[in-house]
Structure 1
Amino acid sequence: MKVLFIGGTGIISQAISKQLLKQNSELYVLNRGNRNMDLPTNVKTIIADINEEEKVKELIKDLEFDVVADFIAFVPEHLERDYRLFQGKTKQYIFISSASAYQKPLSDYRINEGTPLSNPYWEYSRNKIHCEEYLMKLYREENFPVTIVRPSHTYDEKSIPLGVHGRKGSYQVIDRMLKGKPVIIHGDGTSLWTMTHNSDFAKGFLGLMGNIHAIGESVQITSDETLTWNQIYQCIADCLSVEFKPYYVSSSFLDAVSEYDFNGSLLGDKANSVVFDNSKLKRLVPDFAATKRFDQGVAETIEFVLSHKEFQILDEEFDIWCDRVIEALEQAKTEILKK
């Protein structure tokens, strides 16, 4: 199979690349070349900014593909460009959407591909919805061979997945845990969530590539394991061998008192209880099974992060903000309880 990935160096795409090349496929990656040192050595690189359309058109003029997958398309304009570039040059075009595009607030915590798409909280998700609508119109009217994939919270070995963190990633929360400080958890920690290891996501994605039954379809790829946020943080604390010290704050309050995008990432995503029904994926890819349990996967991630200083990125601004939120709420309790 001859494949082109646009982007190709992210959490999801790197795992797919590694598994794909074990199948003796021919993989091309088109990007600006800034992070290609992390790619397998047998990947063929096309160095270009995908937005430089005429340059890219020239670079791929003699190439055709079985699959083109764009991992860095976020707005319909990106897809309009891809359609101009790859119409007639690929047997399948895969767009990476997002499970955050599903209806918020949810009318049913059980999510499948039939769940309505609507997210008034997060522009990112609304843009993904617009992208899906554009592509399905192309499929219906132009026979463009589209497959839409919806990942949820997917993680790898380099970043510990959490609910509430600052702009510099999740490590500052880990630092708070290691120092015995309380960590902020949205809500009361009992809402349901799903974490998917990128190696499991890759299994499902590979099963959709070159799959004639996936053309014209939207498919979510997640683990079948469902956890509460308390369980997620407890697993992390156990791996760190520290006491779990949660400090519960409502998602709406966190959004109201921060400059972080909690309106989107919490109210429009993680604050909602979700349980994914992957029946459709399993019909299309009968041998799919997510086998990396969260406590196992996050243990590997924590071991990697703690042994690689370059991934231990501190965020003093977020740390101070957490302390201020906790202090303010504790003071409010004291004032309310005064007689």
Structure 2
Amino acid sequence: MKVLAIGATGFIGPPVVRHLDEQGHQVAVFHRGETEAELPGSTRHIHGDRNNLSEFRDAFERFAPEVVLDVVPYTEAQIRQTAEAFSGLADRLVVVSSSDVYRNYDGWRGESTHPPDPVPLGEDAPLREKHYPYRGYEELDFEYADDYDKILVEKAAKSRSALPSTILRLPAVYGPGNEQHRLRAPLQRMVDERPFILLGETQAQWRWTHGYAENVAAAIALAATDEQAAGCIYNVGERETPTEAKRVQKLAEIVGWTGEVVELPNEELPDHLQAPFNWQYELATDTSRFRDELGYSEPVSWEEALEQTVAWEQMNVSGTTEDDQFDYAAEDEAVEKAL
């Protein structure tokens, strides 16, 4: 099968391309050429701006993709361009979306006061009622913050009957190379041999589905090459979603940290651990549809995924002296007051 991937040179894209290549598929990657990721030698590169796809129609026709995989469609305009560029050329469009489409995401961020939707969230769970979740957030260093909206991306993808789509709602993705360093906060404290890690009581019981990058990549590659996925929406992520406290405890097992996870009422946490989130709204998703319909299972176990991520993080964790996330004196004081 011929697969053309748009924007597959970042965090998740390269392992997707490797999975496809290992399965014997022909892959072309369309990207700006600013980041030349480590990709299989057989990968074809087409350089250009994804916001001007129509200018590269001839190159796309020469490759003649059967499936187009859009890894980074941030805006409605972008996915409409993708659909227009490949209508009549490709057989299917696979779109990488996000679990931030769900209404609980707005509740978690304090943008909604609806009763929390029950978890795990299935693909038919209520979606956000407000568009453009990051519009107006000047602190975000993100080119498309004002127009980002995966709900509109999904609607635009589904509106093209001539180009059937598959939509994949991704979880919080972690692993080597993740610039968000999702495990850094607890891991740094373990590396610094702190006797305890503080969590607010409600945060400690909160759940958000995660996915290891290699496993998420395998899921994307499967969806791209299985025709049964046409016209479907799938949640992607780990089968089980532990609480934040249990996730930290599992990390402690991997690292060999023998300290204690201490839960305090939210109002007793030091200022640097206060978070502007409503932990009543969980983001645990139900990933069983993807597993049942396409026969998916993770190639990398949870334990191995954490071990590999920890090994990478330990090579990249920085000191705490200039980082206000790690005010250990304030944390000690909070625990002393609680005793």
Q: In 2, are the aligned partners of 1:188 and 1:250 still within 8 Å (CA)? A: no
The answer to whether the 8 Å contact 1:172/1:315 transfers is: no
Give the conservation status (yes or no) of the 8 Å contact 1:9–1:35.
yes
| In structure 2, C-alpha distance between the alignment counterparts of 1:211 and 1:252, rounded to whole Å | 49
**Counterpart position of 1:323:** 327
After superposition, the C-alpha distances for 1:216-258 in whole angstroms (9 at most, x for unaligned) are: 221111221221111211222232222345465778999xx67
Give the distance between the partners of 2:267 and 2:226, measured in 1 at CA.
42
Relative to structure 1, the CA distance from residue 253 to residue 46 in structure 2 (aligned partners, 3 Å threshold; closer, same or farther) is farther
1:128 counterpart = 2:150: yes
SS in 2 for 1:231: helix
CA shift for structure 1 position 158? 3.4
Match of 1:164 in 2: none
| Residue of structure 1 in register with 2:123 after alignment | 113
Instruction: Note closer, same or farther for the CA distance 1:275–1:320 as it changes in structure 2 (3 Å cut).
Output: closer
Q: Quick check: which one's helix share is greater?
A: 1
TM-score scaled to structure 2, two decimals?
0.78
**Within the alignment, does 1:281 sit opposite 2:290 as a pair?**
yes
Q: Out of 319-328 and 6-15, give the one that drifted further.
A: 319-328
2:63 alignment counterpart = 63
The answer to whether the Cα contact below 8 Å between 2:236 and 2:287 also exists between their aligned partners in 1 is yes
The answer (yes or no) to whether the contact 2:10–2:37 under 8 Å persists in 1 is: no
Distance in 1, matches of 2:59 and 2:329, equals 52
Q: Provide the alpha-carbon RMSD of the alignment.
A: 3.6
Instruction: Name the SS of the counterpart of 1:51 in structure 2.
Output: helix
Unaligned runs of 5+ in 1: 161-166
Change (3 A) 1:36 1:209: same
Q: Could you tell me which residue of structure 1 aligns to residue 247 of structure 2?
A: 232
Identity across matched positions, percent: 19
Conservation of the 8 A alpha-carbon contact between 1:192 and 1:275: yes
Q: 4+ residue runs of structure 1 moved beyond 6 angstroms?
A: 249-254, 257-260
User: Which stretch of the first structure deviates more once superposed, 87-96 or 12-21?
Assistant: 12-21
Gaps of 5+ in 2: 108-115, 135-144
Q: Distance in 2 between matches of 1:196 and 1:284?
A: 19
**One-letter code of the match for 2:238?**
S
Deviations 1:2-49 (A, max 9, x none): 011111123332222121111111011111233324222221111222
The residue aligned with 1:178 is: 191
CA distance in 1, matches of 2:263, 2:132: 23
- Whole-angstrom CA distance in 1 between matches of 2:248 and 2:127: 29
